[in-house]
A and B are shown apart, each in its own frame.
Chain A
Amino acid sequence: MTSVPPTAQEQSGFVVELEQFSGPLDLLLHLIHEDEVDITDLPIAKIADQFLAVINDLGLNQAADYLEMAARLLRIKAQMLLPRRLGDDEWEDPRAELVRRLLEYQQIRELVEWLGAAAARRAEQFGRGFAPEPPAAPPAPLVIDLNDLLAAAERVIALIPEPVLHRVVPRPLDVEGATARIEGLLAERASFGWRDIVGVHPTLVDVLSAFIALLELAKRGALRVDQEGPFTPIQIHREPAREAR
């Protein structure tokens, strides 16, 4: 593992370089100043290549802000290469927006220096008992007895609205119960109707349970199901011979 230290050193070098710049605009300004080029007449191809080379060297592949700027530079570079007619008044310099942002940022950098100097100058004087901002005072301890607490809890609980968004309904399909009921009917009668199983006003769940039970019993051969036509009453008949099997 002797090769690790130099690698780590290189990486820490990258970190220092990255922290040197507070963002892609800062890095761009640095490149522009280093080249001593006119910011309003940016040699975009040159600056774009340098920017790409630097973020490549710095290993900033994860820094989305830098990548976004790289993409922007490449787009401007491409736009600058497009042919344009002489005297075309409609032509807008694709660099204009970037130049405006750079100038704006450069102005902010100038203000930063001013603010930094002002803060340093202020730090030469001490107020009486300089103290960091006091944290917000902790709330006073609660004085409350159990009854008050319970009453308060009840009030809160009473205020909780019924959840109306979605209710998960269990499916209380009672196939076993329906099966028992049908078997009871089979024992009594040789044939009976659907209504005899589910009653006059069945719920959806009753209908489903009974229907599944019916099909299951029919499969087992305990009964036979007849229906004269679609939507006509279902008749159920005992099948003693097959049940015996």
Chain B
Amino acid sequence: MSPLAKLVEAALYASARPVTVEELLTLDPHAGAAAVRAALGEIRDTFAAGDHGVELVEIAQGWQFLTRREYAEAIDRAQFALRPRRLSPAALETLAIIAYRQPVGRSEVDEIRGVDSGAVIDKLGERGLVEIVTRGEGLGRPLLYGTTPQFLEILGLKDLDELPRLEELSVALRPPPTAPAEAE
């Protein structure tokens, strides 16, 4: 591997979190973004080709070494590592709404879910999955929430564009207006 690839590999190894290309650029002031991306590709290919237990994965707008899927059960059973806690259906519902409607206020989440969601949003905030991104224009300038890089990380997404597009879902959001049909 090239010297830059080895430097990037070391940096990725040292970090417990996904590292972005911008962060990797600080390693070597002379290396450009293109060179860092090339180095990342080199590392990924090296690990993919050379029968390793870990792989380099693009996730949460960055890069991270992760164990290969086939070892999940064994590692889990041996309790070498903790799996992140699973999210409750209420938490996932709230996350879905915030992910698609961000920036979005509490009242809108409440309305879509049909239940008060304040406590769920607070918990998601504590877990670092959502954060206050701005304030709305309306009455009382409500706090508006958005998702964080941590949200992408726990879902294994590169970025928000990897979420399914609403048109791809089986349910169309806006039903055709029923009133004209009734009147005919």
Contacts and interface: CB of A to CB of B under 8 A. Distances in A.
Interface of A: 22-26, 40-41, 65, 69, 87-89, 91-93, 95-96, 99-101, 103-112, 114-116, 118-133
A119 B164 CA distance: 14
B16 A122 contact: no
A122 B150 CA distance: 12
Contacts of B93: 22, 108-109, 112
22 contacts: A22-B89, A22-B115, A41-B178, A65-B116, A89-B183, A103-B174, A108-B112, A110-B171, A111-B99, A115-B95, A115-B155, A116-B87, A118-B156, A120-B86, A122-B156, A123-B72, A123-B83, A124-B72, A126-B66, A127-B66, A128-B15, A130-B81
Contacts of A129: 16, 81
A104 B82 contact: no
Interface string B59-70: 000001111110
B17 interface: yes
A119 B87 contact: yes
B113 interface: yes
A95 B111 CA distance: 16
Q: Give the 8 A-B residue pairs with the shortest CB-CB distance, closest first.
A: A122-B156, A23-B115, A125-B66, A111-B96, A25-B114, A124-B72, A118-B155, A112-B92
B157 to A, nearest CB: 7
Query: Which among A92, A123, A132 has the greatest number of chain B C-beta atoms within 10 A?
Result: A123
Nearest to A118: B155
Interface string B77-99: 00001111011011011011101
Interface in B38-82: 57, 64-69, 72, 75, 81-82
Contacts of A111: 96, 99-100, 163-164, 169
A123 B171 contact: no
Contact of B16 (A25, A65, A105, A130): A130
A104 B72 contact: no
